[in-house]
């Protein structure tokens, strides 16, 4: 049995018993009923994910998957491919957006090379997890982005990362780096959600109206050329996806098999979560949607996943920045569940019925 199939087979849903126990406690806390709203909803989810009334979330980690994309040759991005490698350097130097927000929330950061096209030999090798499938995908405007075997390799690399980091991680967050990766993400969502490309394609790094229309036309032609099978998520991933997107999907599957929560970042991560959910529907039970991106495609992907994001801050950076901020809410939810007193414990009178 392959690692991918074994992982999928080990994923079971959230624990209904712990969800029930958590609700019974939260119903009795000293406040008007459910007065902390979605923070309390999150506490229920965490109890069900972790099989615990004291969900472990202290050891937080965001995994940033990095890879390049041949599709940028068609002019769908304002930035050149070398920026992917340059931003990896920024992550390692600690001065990128994800570094700032991860430090703020006390979250560790792991960088993974899934398929960076540039020469990473100049970067400190010991600080990068090396799972490169190839030096970037091929342009799916001319044919499949990768082979099916490469798609599976990338998914299994993400699972391997989850397994390798599990002993030192209570909760994962997803992050991405890959110039041009809103294009494969839009294509994935269009295919899996069966939506018109124009409804799920946004401005990415800041395209103007003319550039956006060009991007839409490129993706429409690419999907028509490759004809991804919407009923086969690996086929979709191989034909119009990206190595870091596959890696994130694998990370989510691995975390779900380990019964560890995953805070899913923005559009690219949500497209990856969509792939994971098609491979293992019960993996959704371990996903926490961090924030609502300004990218149109995330709306369809979140609706398909049945997820309402915790934050809505007009973010469009990626990197895992939304996941880093959402870690604060995760810890708040656990604190409410474990530290706040019930009416009986605090000897507080209840409301009249």
Active site residue ranges:
319
DSSP states of 314-349: EE---TTHHHHHHHHHHHHHHHHHHHSPBHHHHT-P
CA 192 – CA 231 distance, rounded (Å): 8
CA 45 – CA 261 distance, rounded (Å): 9
Walk me through the domains of the chain, giving residue ranges and CATH numbers.
Answer: 3-54+337-346 (1.10.1610.10), 60-329 (3.40.50.10210)
Give me the tens of pLDDT residue by residue for the chain, a chain 353 residues long: 799 999 999 999 999 999 999 999 999 999 999 999 999 999 999 999 999 999 999 999 999 999 999 999 999 999 999 999 999 999 999 999 999 999 999 999 999 999 999 999 889 988 999 999 999 999 999 999 999 999 999 999 999 999 999 999 999 999 999 999 999 999 999 999 999 999 999 999 899 999 999 999 999 999 999 999 999 999 999 999 999 999 999 999 999 999 999 999 999 999 999 999 999 999 999 999 999 999 999 999 999 999 999 999 999 999 999 999 999 999 999 999 999 999 999 888 888 76
Q: What confidence score (pLDDT) does residue 95 get?
A: 94
CB of 151 closer than 8 Å to CB of 241 = yes
pTM: 0.97
CB-based burial label for 302 (10 Å; 0-12, 13-18, 19+) = buried
Q: What confidence score (pLDDT) does residue 353 get?
A: 64
């Amino acid at each position: 049995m392959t690692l991918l199939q074994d992982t999928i087979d080990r994923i079971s849903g959230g624990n209904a018993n712990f969800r029930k126990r958590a609700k019974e406690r939260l119903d009795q806390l000293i406040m008007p009923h459910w007065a902390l709203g979605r923070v309390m909803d999150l506490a229920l989810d965490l109890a069900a994910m972790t099989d615990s009334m004291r969900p472990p979330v202290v050891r937080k980690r965001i995994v940033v998957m990095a890879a390049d994309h041949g599709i940028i040759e068609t002019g769908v991005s304002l930035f050149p491919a070398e920026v992917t490698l340059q931003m990896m350097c920024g992550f390692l130097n600690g001065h990128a957006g994800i570094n700032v927000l991860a430090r703020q929330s006390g979250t560790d950061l792991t960088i993974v090379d899934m398929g960076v096209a540039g020469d990473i030999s100049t970067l400190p090798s010991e600080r990068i997890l090396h799972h490169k499938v190839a030096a970037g995908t091929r342009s799916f405007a001319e044919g499949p982005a990768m082979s099916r075997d490469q798609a599976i390799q990338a998914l299994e690399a993400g699972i391997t990362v989850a397994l390798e980091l599990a002993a030192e991680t209570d909760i994962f967050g997803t992050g991405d780096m890959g110039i041009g990766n809103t294009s494969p993400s839009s294509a994935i969502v269009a295919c899996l959600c069966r939506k018109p490309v124009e409804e799920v394609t946004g401005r990415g790094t800041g395209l103007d109206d003319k550039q956006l229309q060009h991007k839409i036309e490129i993706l429409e032609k690419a999907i028509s050329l490759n004809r991804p099978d919407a009923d086969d998520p690996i086929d979709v991933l191989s034909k119009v996806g990206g190595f870091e997107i596959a890696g994130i999907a694998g990370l989510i599957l691995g975390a779900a098999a380990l019964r560890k929560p995953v805070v899913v970042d923005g559009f690219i991560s949500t497209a990856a979560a969509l792939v994971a959910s098609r491979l293992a529907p019960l993996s959704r039970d371990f996903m926490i949607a961090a924030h609502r991106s300004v990218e149109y495609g995330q709306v369809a992907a979140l609706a398909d996943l049945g997820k309402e994001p915790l934050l809505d801050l007009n973010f469009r950076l990626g990197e895992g920045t939304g996941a880093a901020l959402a870690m604060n809410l995760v810890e708040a939810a656990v604190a409410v569940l474990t530290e706040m007193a019930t009416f009986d414990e605090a000897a507080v009178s209840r409301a009249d019925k």
